[in-house]
Structure 1
Amino acid sequence: MNYLVHLLIADRVGADLAGAVLGDFVRGSDLARFPQPIADSIRLHRRIDALTDHHPLRLAAVGRFIAGPRRYAPVILDVLSDHALAIEWARYSADDFTHFCERCAIAVADASDWFEGPRKPDRPGFTALLQSYAEPAGIDLALRRIAHRLKRAQPMRDASAGWRAHLPALSAELPELLGDLIAAASRFQTQAAGR
């Protein structure tokens, strides 16, 4: 899953919002340098990713890609999940979408010292990034950026060119997938609190 889905799940179960994003940036299993709430949220992020990758609905969605582009399907579907969530936000959250994006961006910016590398998240930039997932142009840009980071960008560009064709089925499956992930996240949080 991509940032917006991870943030919604973390928010729903009371996990640290910055950790929900840091899960994509931190490598390795030693999380001792992080405060416990952030470390637990990084672990939750990883758990959600693993559950998503093996969920029957996600496996079926990957199977709808033709053989060559199928290699990139999980990444494309993660970004599309944020788009499907954003365009039907009121179905999934009572919180105003703009307010949610701003609240998450504040939490992430406040924890920016935990992000490694020269490009630390800032509040306006991260707010704009989250809000961009509601627009097709934002999804096009996100997929181009991902392709640009790959050694061989063209296959990813080719695989993502037809992303709009996958959106209706993904949107129809998202409520069940999110429900399963939120239930698993809730169980994870309960176990983490019991340690």
Structure 2
Amino acid sequence: MNWLAHALLSEDSVEFRLGNVLADLVKGRQRKTMTSEFLRGVKHHQKIDAFTDTHPIVSLSQSRISDPYRRFSGILVDIFYDHFLANTWEQHCPSPLSDFTAVLYLQMQNYPVKFVDETQLAIDRMIADDRLSSYQHVDGIGDTLLRVSNRIYERTGRDFELQQAVDELTCNYDGLADDFAQFFPELKRYVGMHETAH
């Protein structure tokens, strides 16, 4: 799952939630400076990812991705699922999405532990662009895929033009939406949540 789902599927503890949301950004030596509660959130993140990565409904979603982007199907489905979560938010959380993300951004800004520059820059950009709320819109998903493509290019020198994979969302929209509608309640049950509790 991507950032928005991890934020929702968290305990109320600020440090736990931040550990769950930021687990992919806070790695290596940086984790040694984090509190036990933050690290508990990191482990929760890993638990969610392990369940998601091995679930047959998620595999079905990945099989909907066409051959040119199949190698990135895991990344794409994670991001697409956040789109469907944002658009069915009221079914999963009593707080409006805008209120939920505003609180999360404030928690990130006020967190007293200093992150390394690269992590802090990613957090600052997430907040400045209101990226979590942008998942509601297909254009926001396209922007997210462009950022992912740019990061891959920085690491590999290869441009896979993942921003064009937004067509995988629009062309398979109903099927992916149905997959998400079946999968997400199972994920919530797995992590011990009630349908609307948070």
Q: TM-score, normalised by structure 2?
A: 0.81
Assess, with a 3 A threshold, how the Cα gap between structure 1 residues 11 and 95 changes in structure 2: closer, same or farther: farther
Q: Which residue of 2 aligns with 1:69?
A: 69
Query: Is the contact between residue 19 and residue 38 of structure 1 (CA under 8 Å) also seen in structure 2?
Result: yes
Indicate the SS of the match to 1:18. Answer: helix
Q: Which residue of 1 aligns with 2:173?
A: 167
- The separation in 1 between residues aligned to 2:46 and 2:126, in whole angstroms, is 26
Q: Which residue of 2 aligns with 1:190?
A: none
- The separation in 1 between residues aligned to 2:145 and 2:186, in whole angstroms, is 26
Indicate the SS of the match to 2:186. Answer: helix
- The separation in 2 between residues aligned to 1:117 and 1:87, in whole angstroms, is 32
**1:74 positional shift:** 1.0
Letter of the 2:95 partner, please give it.
Answer: D
- The separation in 2 between residues aligned to 1:137 and 1:143, in whole angstroms, is 10
Assess, with a 3 A threshold, how the Cα gap between structure 1 residues 114 and 50 changes in structure 2: closer, same or farther: farther
- The separation in 2 between residues aligned to 1:102 and 1:157, in whole angstroms, is 27
Assess, with a 3 A threshold, how the Cα gap between structure 1 residues 30 and 38 changes in structure 2: closer, same or farther: same
- The separation in 1 between residues aligned to 2:125 and 2:143, in whole angstroms, is 19
Assess, with a 3 A threshold, how the Cα gap between structure 1 residues 31 and 125 changes in structure 2: closer, same or farther: closer
Report the count of equivalent residues: 187
Indicate the SS of the match to 1:153. Answer: coil
Q: Which residue of 2 aligns with 1:193?
A: none
Q: Which moved more, 1:61-70 or 1:175-184?
A: 175-184
Query: Does 1:52 find its partner at 2:48?
Result: no
Query: Is the contact between residue 13 and residue 182 of structure 1 (CA under 8 Å) also seen in structure 2?
Result: no
**How large is the RMSD of aligned CA atoms in angstroms?**
2.7
Indicate the SS of the match to 1:16. Answer: helix
* One of 142, 149, 152 as aligned partner of 1:150: 152
Residues 90-113 of structure 1 deviation map (CA, whole Å, 9 limit, x = unaligned): 122111111111111112222374
Letter of the 1:170 partner, please give it.
Answer: L
- The separation in 1 between residues aligned to 2:13 and 2:51, in whole angstroms, is 16
Q: Which moved more, 1:90-99 or 1:126-135?
A: 126-135
Query: Is the contact between residue 81 and residue 174 of structure 1 (CA under 8 Å) also seen in structure 2?
Result: yes
Q: Which moved more, 1:39-48 or 1:115-124?
A: 115-124
Indicate the SS of the match to 2:172. Answer: helix
Q: Which residue of 2 aligns with 1:27?
A: 27
Q: TM-score, normalised by structure 1?
A: 0.82
Q: Which residue of 2 aligns with 1:130?
A: 132
Assess, with a 3 A threshold, how the Cα gap between structure 1 residues 77 and 51 changes in structure 2: closer, same or farther: same
- The separation in 1 between residues aligned to 2:107 and 2:129, in whole angstroms, is 11
Query: Is the contact between residue 2 and residue 82 of structure 2 (CA under 8 Å) also seen in structure 1?
Result: yes
